[in-house]
Amino acid sequence: MVGLAWRAGHHDVAVLILVGFCYFLRTMEFVTLPVANVVVDLATSQIVVSLDRAKTSEQYQQSLLLRHRTLARILSHALPRLSGRQRLWAASARDFRKCFTCLVEHLGLQDGFFAL
């Protein structure tokens, strides 16, 4: 899915799927995620994702840390393509779901297999 979105020029969708999957984020957590809240340190292969308002802790910011060399490289390459944006996803959660559904259908995956 990520590769298909990337090749089609939808870098935002590719990043959202990667970040959402790797950090087990809820749809609303990753579609409202500011670009500035994803910080990559290539030297240590660390990626920090800061959630301003998470369902489990609405009053405090949560910072999630992952060390993954490949993901750090991919995100360090992808995030500059989203510069100038406030959020990773500029449209609504509904629009992301439509996009995701199109990917699922294009790949011939069962509709009920993925839930958003």
5: tokens are: 């979105």
Class of domain 2-107: alpha beta
Q: Where are the domains of the chain?
A: 2-107
Q: Per DSSP, what are the bridge partners of residue 80? A: none
Angle, in degrees to the nearest 10, between helices 93-106 and 11-22: 90
Tens-digit pLDDT string for the chain (116 aa): 999 999 999 999 999 999 999 999 999 999 999 999 999 999 999 999 999 866 666 666 789 999 999 999 999 999 999 988 999 999 999 999 999 988 988 888 865 666 55
Picking from 26, 24, 19, the residue whose alpha carbon sits closest to that of residue 75 is 19
Instruction: Tell me how far apart the alpha carbons of residues 81 and 9 are, in angstroms, rounded to a whole number.
Output: 10
Question: How far is it between the farthest Cα atoms of the chain?
Answer: 41
